[in-house]
Amino acid sequence: MENFASVVRKLFQATTAPDVLNFATGSPANASIPLEEIRELSRDILEQDASGYRALQYNDPQGLIDLREAVAEKLLPRRGISGAKPSQVMITQGGMETLTLSCHVFIDPGDVILIEEPSFTQAIETFKLFEANCVSVECDDNGMLMDDLAAKFDQYKPKMIYVIPSFQNPAGRTTSLERRKALAEFANARDVILLEDDPYVELRYHGEDLPSIKSFDKNGNVIFCNSFSKIFSPGMRLGYLFADEEIISHVYDAKTATNSHVAVYNQMLAAEYLKRGMFENRIGFIRDLYKHKADVAAASIVKYFPEGSHFVRPEGGLFFWVRLPEGCMDTTEILEHKDEFKVSFVAGAGFFVNGKGHDCMRLSFGNFSDEQIDAGMHRLGDYIKATRE
Amino acid sequence: MENFASVVRKLFQATTAPDVLNFATGSPANASIPLEEIRELSRDILEQDASGYRALQYNDPQGLIDLREAVAEKLLPRRGISGAKPSQVMITQGGMETLTLSCHVFIDPGDVILIEEPSFTQAIETFKLFEANCVSVECDDNGMLMDDLAAKFDQYKPKMIYVIPSFQNPAGRTTSLERRKALAEFANARDVILLEDDPYVELRYHGEDLPSIKSFDKNGNVIFCNSFSKIFSPGMRLGYLFADEEIISHVYDAKTATNSHVAVYNQMLAAEYLKRGMFENRIGFIRDLYKHKADVAAASIVKYFPEGSHFVRPEGGLFFWVRLPEGCMDTTEILEHKDEFKVSFVAGAGFFVNGKGHDCMRLSFGNFSDEQIDAGMHRLGDYIKATRE
């Protein structure tokens, strides 16, 4: 543990100064959070003694049956998964805990996990906490390169492959349909666990929905992970994991031994939100909201960042991944000066395990107004330009 | 992970049959849960947009500053700890997660943890999940025997000592004042982490409050752990850990890497519950409630169990630890027949790591009426008597 880097601590503590625009954390827009619906649901749950006490007592470590049913009926079919059983669903403490529980079950110190290059900082920190060695697989705009995956697999004998297929964090790319099929086939052929982490999938504002990798899984090697943070509320800390019952039984043991279960009231709210059709009613509004913000962010990056800056326009999600042109200051170093230009972001190096990424940054726009996005990108762009000789 | 026993899964799944009185899980009484106060607090939090969105967005991984302040000001002084700073408090997902996070920070596979004999099943399962070796220290009615602790310390070089000082789970004993001082001195002298887990301490219905072991800690070796499950709501999944800032910084890293943070709304409710004086108003009622139930349970065990059954009358808490006389069936075996007498309990063997306890059982009475307690003990006692030749 002594060597466990505090990247995430620094990330969160970077947010304390109130006049700094925090483009670092991927907070969703307040406007995306269904506060009015939650007021109504909360009243309904707490006003009746029976449901009130149910909300406040212990319950099933696997998660409330109502919520597991709602996930199976309302969410998984949207990912190309039909006939899911509630017994194959485990409710977790946010999306992050799907990774933690999977590590408890499958990872011993020294095991290798193959990840995309680049990949989600916080996931890398989770894997490091379990003393796994992360090895990155080369990617193109369609996801992991299958040749490099096969080569790394043979070389490192990994216990797990970790993929973020939709609007990847941080690169913004989406794994193509063909590549999804190939990944499922690969996991089946090599009998290796593939962790499919898809928290942004519902935030698509361009292009067509794609079926999940899990939907092509024939032998139960794929664990599908998701979060309620972007479609309901991040503060409620809800996520879920969908896998074969054999895997769920081990995850269940790890869950009971680490923190018993997820808060019951929170699960009841989310279950009712799904069951009453509130999610379907609202998701279009949320997509339009982010489509607009993404347009504003893209325009302001083009306008203010130095020429030669590169970013891929994502088809969904809450952030842009920008690569600065040659001659700019290292982004880790730029971040140290954030109090001068009053903008925070995540420096690129934390998303790599091989020393790359010092010319990259991840910029989140989810919870800012048009004016804030424009002003923040303006100040940041000006600062970057001034560092360039 | 393959070897990780499913004791806890069995414990929870044992509760499914609706006509079985579940004396296994230590659920608090519904009547102890402040539903009316929570209705009021929930309305106050959700009705205002500012506090509503705060409740539903991401927040500090260490826990809400309001709740950390309330813990430092309202709860820790009751344990003999004055001048605690909010920076020394970490909010956790129930009491269980205080153990999980401590293991992430201090335990590597193969490390030894010294525990009381017997000790809390679920804690033993947590320690096993981290591949620690639990070694038990002999105890008398006043807690760990200091001679045996010193001998085991020298023999096993443990990374941690785990103590439940108040109405110990399962044995019901309370560590004496003198022993508390000795334990703190021992941890300081040997420079070892002592985990003081005190979830039942507020449920005292006989005798005098004692200061915590932590209150005698001079060098920061003691981590004080507690839960809101017995004084507020178990379903809300709230607990806290109090330690030196250096330890907290490592715990913080583990928390962000495992599940980001505890649900914000839940923390706001608990903070207001403490800050508005609701806890102090209610705790006397809760103690009286359990004092009465404990009297009923004690009387019914005396009345219905075979002669020679032994139990220590606890000074507080939610359960009785009963040792059956010679000639009775193994309690693990009795439990297999629970559908016949329609009572569940926890068999004693799960609380030991050295093969003992087959003549013991833990019986929780927290959430049952007088009639249910009497009827359940009657059926269980009759069954036990009939197994005795």
Q: Map B168-205 to HEC letters.
A: CCCCCCCCCHHHHHHHHHHHHHHCCEEEEECCCCCCEC
pLDDT category at B389 given cuts 50, 70, 90 is low
Q: What are phi and psi of B237, to 5 degrees?
A: 55, 70
Q: DSSP letter at B15?
A: T
Mean pLDDT over residues B325-349, rounded? 95
Which residues 6+ apart lie within 8 Å of A285 measured at CB?
none
So what's the pLDDT on residue A15?
52
Residues of A (266-305) whose Cβ lies below 8 Å from B: 266
Are B65 and B268 within 8 A, CB to CB? no
Other CB atoms within 10 Å distance of the CB of residue A207: 10
Closest Cα in chain B, distance from residue A269 (Å): 12
Structure tokens at B362: 């833990």
Structure tokens at A137: 């697989």
DSSP B61-114: TT--HHHHHHIIIIIGGGGT--S--GGGEEEESTTHHHHHHHHHHH--TT-EEE
Max CA pair span of chain B:
68
Closest Cα in chain B, distance from residue A249 (Å): 9
Nearest to B101 by CA among B215, B261, B219, B228: B261
Mean per-residue pLDDT over chain A, rounded: 94
B47: nearest CA partner in chain A: A39
Are B92 and B241 within 8 A, CB to CB? yes
Residue B15 has pLDDT above 80, yes or no: no
So what's the pLDDT on residue A6?
54
Other CB atoms within 10 Å distance of the CB of residue A52: 21
Rg (CA), chain A: 21
Q: DSSP letter at B255?
A: H
Other CB atoms within 10 Å distance of the CB of residue A300: 21
Residue B32 has pLDDT above 90, yes or no: yes
So what's the pLDDT on residue B5?
42
So what's the pLDDT on residue A389?
64
pLDDT category at B19 given cuts 50, 70, 90 is confident
So what's the pLDDT on residue A1?
31
A130: nearest CA partner in chain B: B104
Single-letter residue type at A319: F
In CATH terms, A7-32+283-387 corresponds, of 3.40.250.10, 2.60.40.1120, 3.90.1150.10, 3.90.550.10, to 3.90.1150.10
Residue B83 has pLDDT above 80, yes or no: yes
Closest Cα in chain B, distance from residue A384 (Å): 29
Residue A47 with chain B: CB contacts under 8 Å: 39
Q: Does A373 or B25 have the greater pLDDT score? A: A373
B105: nearest CA partner in chain A: A1
Quick one: what percent of chain B has pLDDT higher than 90? 93
From-to residues of CATH 3.40.640.10 in chain A: 36-279
Mean pLDDT over residues A145-149, rounded? 98
Mean pLDDT over residues B265-289, rounded? 98
Where do runs of H (alpha helix) occur along chain A?
7-13, 35-47, 49-56, 65-70, 96-106, 121-129, 146-156, 177-190, 245-259, 264-275, 278-304, 331-336, 338-341, 370-387
Q: DSSP letter at B29?
A: P
Cα distance between residue A30 and residue B103, in whole Å: 36
Max CA pair span of chain A:
68
Mean pLDDT over residues A126-144, rounded? 97
Q: Where are the beta strands (DSSP E) in chain B?
A: 21-22, 89-92, 112-116, 133-137, 139-140, 143-144, 160-163, 193-197, 222-227, 239-242, 310-311, 319-323, 343-344, 346-347, 360-364
CA A55 to chain centre: 27
Any A CB within 8 A of B55 CB: yes
Residue B101 has pLDDT above 60, yes or no: yes
End-to-end CA distance of chain B: 41
When scoring B11, B66, B108, B256 by the number of chain A Cβ atoms within 10 A, the one with the most, hence best to mutate, is B256
Interchain pair B53, A30: CB under 8 A: yes
Other CB atoms within 10 Å distance of the CB of residue B152: 20
Any A CB within 8 A of B16 CB: no
ipTM over 0.85: yes
Mean pLDDT over residues B363-367, rounded? 95
From-to residues of CATH 3.40.640.10 in chain B: 35-278
Are A24 and A367 within 8 A, CB to CB? no
Does the domain at A36-279 match CATH 3.40.640.10? Answer given as yes
So what's the pLDDT on residue B9?
55
Which residues 6+ apart lie within 8 Å of B269 measured at CB?
B38, B41, B42, B45, B236
Single-letter residue type at B44: D
Mean pLDDT over residues B247-266, rounded? 96
Rg (CA), chain B: 21
From-to residues of CATH 3.90.1150.10 in chain A: 7-32+283-387
Any A CB within 8 A of B31 CB: no
A62: nearest CA partner in chain B: B9
From-to residues of CATH 3.90.1150.10 in chain B: 7-32+281-387
Residue B4 has pLDDT above 50, yes or no: no
Cα distance between residue B282 and residue B277, in whole Å: 9
Cα separations (Å) of A291 from A163, B73, B174, B335? 24, 46, 60, 58
B254: nearest CA partner in chain A: A129
Mean per-residue pLDDT over chain B, rounded: 95
Which residues is A92 bridged to in the sheet? A239
pLDDT digits (tens, 9 = 90+) for A293-331: 999 999 999 999 999 999 988 999 999 999 999 999 999
Residue A7 has pLDDT above 60, yes or no: no
When scoring A260, A273, A286, A364 by the number of chain B Cβ atoms within 10 A, the one with the most, hence best to mutate, is A260
So what's the pLDDT on residue A18?
74
Q: Does B3 or B244 have the greater pLDDT score? A: B244
A92: nearest CA partner in chain B: B259
Query: A164-203 b/e with 16+ CB inside 10 Å = b?
Result: bbbbbbbbbbbbeeebbebbbbbbbebebbbbbbbbbbbb
Residue B9 with chain A: CB contacts under 8 Å: 61, 249, 252-253, 256
CA dihedral B134, B135, B138, B143 (to 10 degrees): -40
Global model pTM greater than 0.90: yes
When scoring A13, A45, A265 by the number of chain B Cβ atoms within 10 A, the one with the most, hence best to mutate, is A265
Nearest to B27 by CA among B380, B363, B348, B376: B363
pLDDT digits (tens, 9 = 90+) for A44-77: 999 999 999 999 999 999 999 999 999 999 999 9
Residue A144 has pLDDT above 70, yes or no: yes
Cα separations (Å) of B379 from B340, B346, B382? 9, 16, 5
Closest Cα in chain A, distance from residue B332 (Å): 20
CATH number of B7-32+281-387: 3.90.1150.10
Single-letter residue type at B202: E
Q: Does A17 or B144 have the greater pLDDT score? A: B144
Mean pLDDT over residues B331-339, rounded? 96
Q: What are phi and psi of A349, to 5 degrees?
A: -60, -30
Quick one: what percent of chain B has pLDDT higher than 70? 95
Quick one: what percent of chain A has pLDDT higher than 70? 95
So what's the pLDDT on residue B290?
97
Any A CB within 8 A of B58 CB: yes
pLDDT digits (tens, 9 = 90+) for B45-70: 999 999 999 999 999 999 999 999 99
Architecture of domain B35-278: 3-Layer(aba) Sandwich (3.40)
Residue B358 has pLDDT above 80, yes or no: yes
So what's the pLDDT on residue A204?
97
Any B CB within 8 A of A29 CB: no
When scoring A8, A237, A368 by the number of chain B Cβ atoms within 10 A, the one with the most, hence best to mutate, is A237
So what's the pLDDT on residue B1?
31
Residue B180 has pLDDT above 70, yes or no: yes
pLDDT category at B16 given cuts 50, 70, 90 is low
End-to-end CA distance of chain A: 41
Residue B2 has pLDDT above 50, yes or no: no
Cα distance between residue A387 and residue A331, in whole Å: 11
Interchain pair A266, B265: CB under 8 A: yes
pLDDT digits (tens, 9 = 90+) for A179-209: 999 999 999 999 999 999 999 999 999 999 9
So what's the pLDDT on residue B171?
96
Residue A10 has pLDDT above 70, yes or no: no
Opening angle at CA B122, ends B119 and B125, nearest 5 = 100
